[in-house]
Chains A and B, each alone.
Chain A
Amino acid sequence: GESVGLHLPTLSVQEGDNSIINCAYSNSASDYFIWYKQESGKGPQFIIDIRSNMDKRQGQRVTVLLNKTVKHLSLQIAATQPGDSAVYFCAETPGYNFNKFYFGSGTKLNVKP
């Protein structure tokens, strides 16, 4: 079956530091990956995505790295701010079935002022 998991369930960082949130997946056919941010009482919010033909993609203050060899995905947040405090989920879908996205269990990011 599909398996998307996270190494660290909780991450605490100091405001201004960089944050790295990791995610492992098990399906070598995974083709498309998304990072979501979920604040308390809200639905997940899209942050950044990456397809399997890339190994790095940058957005505003965020970078996603994909290592297909070891089936590992990471989200880097630069200059972390208190507003970044939330639960972060990775999600993946295999290229043969875009109907389903498989979500990890989430990492809670605490940003200390």
Chain B
Amino acid sequence: GAGVSQSPSNKVTEKGKDVELRCDPISGHTALYWYRQRLGQGLEFLIYFQGNSAPDKSGLPSDRFSAERTGESVSTLTIQRTQQEDSAVYLCASSFYRGQPQHFGDGTRLSIL
């Protein structure tokens, strides 16, 4: 597609369940970012992938959060044993290379009951 695609667009789950969020970046973009956005707030960096280099995981808030990326394509963000404070919009962005303007998807709105 022409833009960054994220799925699902909305996810409602019970506390304690695991969730997996998907991001399809723009073709050819080597850099991929995940952010968390709580209601009415700015974006909180979670993790960054650049090609086949080791990802920068320094923004992951706990070991319940993990992410993977296959080469320069799809990425998945997994949250295990979800807590209510995990409720937020999770945004994915990609860019041709790091340090360049990022193109964002419309996010996954995650609600933990």
Residues of A in contact with B (beta carbons under 8 Å apart): 4, 32, 34, 36, 41-46, 49, 89, 91, 93, 98-106
Contacts and interface: CB of A to CB of B under 8 A. Distances in A.
B104 interface: yes
Given A89-B42, A103-B35, 15 more contacts: A43-B4, A44-B91, A44-B93, A44-B102, A45-B104, A89-B43, A91-B43, A93-B99, A98-B99, A99-B50, A99-B56, A99-B98, A100-B58, A101-B45, A101-B102
A43 to B, nearest CB: 3
Given A34-B101, A93-B99, A100-B56, A43 B93 contact: yes
B25 interface: no
A99 B93 contact: no
B91 A98 contact: no
B42 A106 contact: yes
Interface string B1-28: 0001000000000000000000000000
Nearest to A89: B42
Contacts of A41: 106
Given A100-B48, A100-B59, A46 B102 contact: yes
Q: Top 5 closest A-B pairs, CB basis?
A: A43-B104, A98-B99, A103-B42, A103-B43, A98-B98
A41 B93 CA distance: 15
Interface of B: 4, 33, 35, 40-45, 48, 50, 56, 58-59, 91, 93, 98-99, 101-107
Contacts of A104: 42
B99 A32 contact: yes
8 contacts: A34-B101, A36-B104, A43-B93, A43-B105, A93-B99, A100-B45, A100-B59, A102-B45
Nearest to A42: B106
Contacts of B33: 101
